[in-house]
Each structure stands twice: as structure tokens, then as C-alpha cells.
């Protein structure tokens, strides 16, 4: 299979180019001289149907998929990742794209109770089965997810959270790692990325709420779920070797603007 020369400037399509990671990634790629195509509905590309994709992918060397589902309902999120990934892979195979890079989630194969992670696992399986060279980057939860995790955990006015370990990472570090991944030859396998330190999930939320001066009460419950899924100390952290981000959570919190 063809491989990319890491020193060659490329034309790269970012699926989800207007999202949190997509925007950061586009800036970094363009800064290093690459041509970026941001594929999203606002740019005329609907990856759920494939409309507009044929024109957008013309002449593209690599695709980076950082799409996220607009719905987290079990069936909807599964259909989203299956449809968008299938359309991308079909277009890539037809046009000779040399590298498909997908952003996935650490633990996607270890949390069967999570409909979202089951959908990400299904997405990974589609990529592995396709005839396009690929790299899957599994990342841990972003620092930027703290407010959403906090909001979802509220029960009777308290933040009810489990004690499970996590290893969160800054979105900037995720984007930087994706640049390195897409600039290198396809691994035809999985790479994992985490933050520089592990932290308990309840501490992650508590520190965010304190930094943003939100009055709160944390209720620590080892049996509490994570978005409805049972987790333990292995669920959300990389297993074995992983790439580590540089930014520490405390440094990120100290630079928050709210």
C-alpha cells in the first residue's frame, strides 16, 4: 500500500473541521505548510449522506476524522459513526487517499455499558476492515469536557461522582498529536494518548468547579456511573504504552477564561 513521505506537504481533509479539535488541527497543519479542506455541513459537505464529499476529497492525500455525533442516544450515535465513516472510507478508496486518521476514545473496547463507546468501537472496526491505510488515535477525556461531565453528574443538587481513575488531556495536545500522526506513515493500528497525570473523576470535577468558583457539593459514590456506564480504574486510562500530553490540568485551570 502507498505511504506518505512525512516531509511532503499534503492536502488534508478534516472531517469535523469546525469543531473543537478540527479548528485547532487546521491551524497547526496550515502553519506547517499543508493545504487543509475543512469538511462540514457549513462547507457544503454532509457526511451522513455523503453529499458534497466527492468534490471535497478530490486530490486529498490524507483524511483526519474528528467528527462527533450531535446526539448521544445509543442508536443515533451508532448510526452517525457508521454512516459518516462508511462514506469517508468509500470515497477514500475510490480516490486513492493514502492515510485515514480517526480520533477515537481510550476505553472504547472496555466500557460495554456505554452506547457512545460501543459506537466508537464499531467505527474502529469499520476502519480496520476497509482497504485504506489507517491510524486510530484513541484519546482520553479532554480537560474541556469538565463542565459537561459536571453537569451530567448532578443528582438532587449534588455532583454525584465515582472514584474511578482518569487521565485527561488538553485539546491542544490532542490536536498536536494528530498533526504528528497524519504526518507519519500509517500505522494500520491504534495509538493511545493521555494527559501527563492521572486523577480521580470526582477530583477532576471538584477542581474545575473550584477554579470557576461554582458553589457545589461533591457526593463521592464508587458505584456512580459515567454517563450511565459502570467504570473502574482501568476504564478511562491508557493500558500499556501511550503518548502523553504536555499540559497539566492545574495549569489549564489557572488559564481558564470564564
pLDDT tens per residue across span 220-258: 999 999 999 999 999 999 998 999 999 999 999 999 875
Run of H or E including 107: none
238: DSSP letter: -
pLDDT tier, 7 (very low <50, low <70, confident <90, very high otherwise): low
Using alpha carbons, select from 134, 146, 150 the residue that is nearest to residue 171. Answer: 146
Helix (H, G, I), strand (E, B) or coil at 100: strand
Cα 250 to Cα 113, 169, 195, 202, 203: the distances in Å are 31, 11, 12, 15, 12
In this prediction, residues 199-211 reach a mean pLDDT of 98
Using alpha carbons, select from 26, 87, 90, 98 the residue that is nearest to residue 63. Answer: 98
The fold of the 11-200+213-254 domain, in CATH, is Rossmann fold (3.40.50)
With a CB cutoff of 8 Å and minimum separation 6, the contacts of 122 are: 78, 81, 82
| Cell output for 255 | 488559564
Share of the chain above pLDDT 90, in %: 91
* Whether residue 42 has pLDDT greater than 90: no
pLDDT score for 258:
59
pLDDT, tens only, 60-89: 999 999 999 988 899 999 999 999 999 999
pTM value is: 0.94
Amino acid at each position: 500500500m502507498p505511504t506518505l513521505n512525512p516531509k511532503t506537504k499534503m492536502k488534508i481533509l478534516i472531517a469535523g473541521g469546525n469543531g473543537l479539535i478540527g479548528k485547532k488541527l487546521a491551524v497547526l497543519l496550515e502553519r506547517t505548510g499543508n493545504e487543509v479542506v475543512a469538511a462540514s455541513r457549513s462547507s457544503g459537505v454532509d457526511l451522513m449522506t455523503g453529499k458534497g464529499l466527492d468534490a471535497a476529497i478530490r486530490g486529498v492525500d490524507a483524511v483526519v476524522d474528528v467528527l462527533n455525533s450531535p446526539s448521544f442516544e445509543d442508536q443515533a450515535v451508532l448510526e452517525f459513526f457508521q454512516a459518516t465513516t462508511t462514506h469517508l472510507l468509500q470515497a477514500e478508496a475510490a480516490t486513492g487517499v493514502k492515510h485515514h486518521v480517526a480520533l477515537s476514545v481510550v476505553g472504547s473496547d472496555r466500557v460495554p455499558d456505554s452506547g457512545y463507546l460501543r459506537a466508537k468501537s464499531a467505527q474502529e472496526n469499520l476502519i480496520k476492515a476497509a482497504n485504506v491505510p489507517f491510524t486510530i488515535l484513541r484519546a482520553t477525556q479532554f480537560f474541556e469536557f469538565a463542565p459537561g461531565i459536571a453537569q451530567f453528574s448532578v443528582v438532587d443538587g449534588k455532583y454525584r461522582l465515582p472514584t474511578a481513575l482518569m487521565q485527561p488531556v488538553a485539546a491542544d495536545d490532542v490536536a498536536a498529536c494528530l498533526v504528528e500522526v497524519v504526518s507519519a506513515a500509517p500505522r494500520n493500528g491504534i495509538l493511545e494518548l493521555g494527559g501527563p497525570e492521572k486523577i480521580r473523576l470526582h477530583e477532576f470535577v471538584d477542581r474545575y468547579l473550584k477554579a470557576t468558583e461554582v458553589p457545589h457539593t461533591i457526593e463521592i459514590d464508587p458505584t456512580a456511573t459515567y454517563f450511565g456506564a459502570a467504570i473502574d480504574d482501568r476504564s478511562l486510562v491508557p493500558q500499556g504504552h501511550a503518548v502523553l500530553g504536555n499540559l497539566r490540568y492545574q495549569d489549564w485551570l489557572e488559564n481558564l477564561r470564564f
